[in-house]
Amino acid sequence: MKGICKAFGPVKALVDASLEVMPGTIHGLVGQNGAGKSTIIKVLAGIIAPDAGSIEIGGRPVGRLTPASVERLGIHFIHQDRLLVPTATVGEAVFLRHEIGFGAFISRRRMAAAANELLKRYFGIELPAGALIKDLTTAQQKIVQITRALAQKTAVLVLDEPTASLVKTEVDSLFAVLRRLKADGIAIIFISHYMQEIDQLCDVVTVMRNGADVGTVRPAETSIDKIIAMMIARDVGAMFPKRKAAIGAPVLDVSQLGLAGRFEDISFTIRQGEIVGITGLLGSGAKEIVNCLFGLQTADKGTIAVEGRSVHPSGPYDAVAAGLALLPEDRRAHGIALDLSVRENVSLASLGRYSSKGLIKRAEEGRQVDALIRELTIKTPGKDVLVRQLSGGNQQKVSIAKWLSCQSRIYVLDEPTVAVDIAAKVEIYGLLNRLAERGAAILMLSSDLLELTGMCDRVLVVYRGALTGEFSGARLDSDLLLAASSGASRPSEMEAA
Ligand SMILES: Nc1ncnc2c1ncn2[C@@H]1O[C@H](COP(=O)(O)OP(=O)(O)OP(=O)(O)O)[C@@H](O)[C@H]1O
Ligand SMILES: [Mg+2]
């Protein structure tokens, strides 16, 4: 791809961007939120028509690309924000537009069997027969999308932040798959905000900044710090800034919580000023525990108490009414209104603060929204732009800003920094520290071990539906967390450690 330009109205998403990718190579693509990564990928996918530039595939110039012509050329995509059809079965999703059989003779059973075969072969997992896409977790959906590409003849595979909601073991199996494909001569374009992944996996990496490529380097020869410096052209400072929060009274008390078949006997307390992490593999129950706090699932045993009052959230509305600020994982479905402006989204959760006698104090609201846009470095042409028009990571920042602008005392965050660039991560960590310093209690579900050890006072590990470890102080270490979440050490041994 040479000299690609693309403007959305006044926003120049790509300015003379070039990308050259070789067969049998894993080619990283990095840059801050809004740098233009997804846009250049969508140009290659035939989803966005560029304003200028040329594209050659296999040495031949190609004209106007369409999603169908691109697929015929063997180029497959795992997009950041294009989801699977929620009502399709796993088999239908994997073989979409490549159904086994014909017309009325399409064989659902054979497709399901073939899909499961691929899932087992590549990822070592089995999904319940007949499961619908909407019943799967985000991680399982990603795996199904990747399997769809593997089911077809592929020359180029493009993955836009594929690991964003995967846990360590799933990331490992994905990497094993990608290395196998690379050995088969497939070219892989891999977008990620995780620098360790880029370092481990990629042969070369192209850095984008403000819509242009600013350099292509080999991670084996170039330090991560150098690559980050190319991305942001400034210093981010300490990744995990120190906080000075006084630990106060208990505010969230979970006691003997249980949900049949998911988890049992879960008890923990979070105090004012504390940041507590919770982690566990896919299916461990960690996610479901947090969902019960959100009111997305309902526990059938035990109690949840907020500042001494017992609560039974049967939906996010109840949880919010009980005083919890929630950042759900699937922000596009639950956390953000795509067709409202940045301003409206940010002030949604805290409208009470800006209204007096039914009138919204626009000026004050505007100042607060501007301040958050600055603090979180949200890349947007202005606060009245629709959230739909922002890049994936910037949408994420808006959903975080929304809760930071309301002064809640308990925050429950599900993967708060997934898909967010490194500079914004540091901003978010700083904001969480400030919330804790103001006396907020924070529970954060995360699969990012670095983030857990860097940010939390304590981390709870869930394994097979039970709390199997609590790590703090010198024992708050990513190797110990990883071992505990994969069941490598039993609780008694961890106590002794
Ligand atoms: N449909 C659109 N309408 C208006 N602006 C858009 C549209 N799509 C992207 N943009 C803008 O183009 C710029 C580049 O966006 P892009 O999605 O390519 O970023 P990105 O590098 O993928 O970022 P992220 O890491 O956050 O996913 C951003 O400023 C974004 O707001
Ligand atoms: Mg993107």
Instruction: Check pocket membership of 35 for ligand 1, CB cut-off 6 A.
Output: yes
**Mutate which of 4, 5, 39 to test ligand 1's pocket (most atoms within 8 Å of Cβ)?**
39
Average pLDDT value for residue range 148-157: 86
The model's pLDDT over 416-475, given as tens digits with 9 standing for 90+, comes to 888 788 888 888 888 889 889 989 999 999 988 889 999 999 999 999 899 999 999 989
How close is the Cα of 395 to the center of ligand 1, in Å? 10
Q: Is the pLDDT of residue 9 over 90?
A: no
Ligand 1 centroid – CA 211 distance (Å): 9
Candidate from 4, 5, 11 with most ligand 1 atoms within 8 A of CB, to mutate: 11
| Two structure tokens written together for 489 | 């050490």
The residue whose C-alpha atom lies closest to atom 12 belonging to ligand 1 is 13
Alpha-carbon gap, residue 329 to 142, rounded angstroms: 14
Distance (angstroms) between ligand 1 centre and the Cα of 8 equals: 9
For ligand 1, the distance from its centroid to the CA atom of residue 284, given in whole angstroms, is 34
Q: What secondary structure, in 3-state letters, does the chain show? A: CEEEEEEECCEEEEEEECCCCCCCCEEEEECCCCCCHHHHHHHHCCCCCCCEEEEEECCEEECCCCHHHHHHCCEEEECCCCCCCCCCEHHHHHCCCCCCCCHHHCCHHHHHHHHHHHHHHHHCCCCCCCCEHHHCCHHHHHHHHHHHHHCCCCCEEEEECCCCCCCHHHHHHHHHHHHHHHHCCCEEEEECCCHHHHHHHCCEEEEEECCEEEEEECCCCCCHHHHHHHHHCCCCCCCCCCCCCCCCCEEEEEEEEEECCCEEEEEEEEECCCEEEEECCCCCCHHHHHHHHHCCCCCCEEEEEECCEEECCCCHHHHHHCCEEEECCCHHHHHCCCCCEHHHHHHHCCHHHHEECCEECHHHHHHHHHHHHHHCCCCCCCCCCEHHHCCHHHHHHHHHHHHHCCCCCEEEEECCCCCCCHHHHHHHHHHHHHHHHCCCEEEEECCCHHHHHHHCCEEEEEECCEEEEEEEHHHCCHHHHHHHHCCCCCHHHHHHC
| pLDDT value, residue 495 | 45
The tens digit of pLDDT for each residue in 282-300 reads: 778 999 999 999 898 999 9
For residues 166 and 287, what is the distance between their CA atoms, to the nearest angstrom? 12
Count Cβ atoms below 10 Å from residue 122 Cβ, excluding itself. 18
- Please work out whether the CB of residue 38 comes within 6 Å of at least one atom of ligand 1: yes
Q: Is 192 in the pocket of ligand 1 (CB under 6 A)?
A: no
Distance in Å, CA 91 to ligand 2 centroid = 28
The top-level CATH class assigned to 2-232 is alpha beta
Q: What does pTM read for this prediction?
A: 0.67
* pLDDT tens column, 190-248: 998 888 889 999 999 999 998 999 999 999 999 888 888 888 766 556 778 778 889 99
Which range among 120-129, 180-189, 195-204, 431-440 shows the weakest confidence by mean pLDDT?
A: 120-129
Average pLDDT, integer, range 403-425: 82
pLDDT of residue 351: 56
Task: Give domain 238-323+409-497's CATH architecture.
Answer: 3-Layer(aba) Sandwich (3.40)
Question: Whose Cα sits closest to atom 24 in ligand 1?
Answer: 33
Domain boundaries for CATH 3.40.50.300 within the chain: 2-232, 238-323+409-497
**Ligand closest to the CA atom of residue 390:** 1
